[in-house]
Amino acid sequence: MAKANAQVTVTSGSPETATATIANGASLSDSVFVDGRLSGIITPAAWTAAAITFQASVDGSSFFDVYDDALETTAVERTIASGNVGTSRFLALSLVDWTAVTYVKVRSGTTGTPVNQGAQRVLTLVLAG
């Protein structure tokens, strides 16, 4: 059974940004309030090679690893592959996938294999206006 195409209406206005900081020697960023409007990530000029995965929360205190059902028999971790991450890139995200998320943390690496960053990394989160 195919997924139905969901439509999201974005009101006019410029996108806003927020920052997610991964500390030196850590793999998980601080918590960022996105209010269901996460639409992209801008990577920093330096990045220790790793995929990007996420933790999400609706209350800002209880965070959970983000998985998609992907119409498969098992859930799949929401991952931006390391080969797609790179430095100084705008990584577009589907706004509809983040509508239920109020807070997000960005992880360097995956749940099973986190990758500590070699210095503090500041990612810019683009929020739909």
Q: What is the mean pLDDT of residues 75-94?
A: 93
What mean pLDDT comes out for the span 22-26? 98
Tokens of 63: 């965070």
**What per-residue confidence (pLDDT) applies to 16?**
94
Q: Would you place residue 80 in the very low, low, confident or very high pLDDT band (cuts 50, 70, 90)?
A: very high
Q: Where are the domains of the chain?
A: 33-127
Q: Is the pTM of this model over 0.75?
A: yes
DSSP 28: B
Query: Is 74's pLDDT higher than 90?
Result: no
In a 10 Å sphere around its CB, with 0-12 CB exposed, 13-18 middle and 19+ buried, how is residue 81 labelled?
exposed
The CB-side HSE value for 126 (13 A sphere, CA atoms) comes to 15
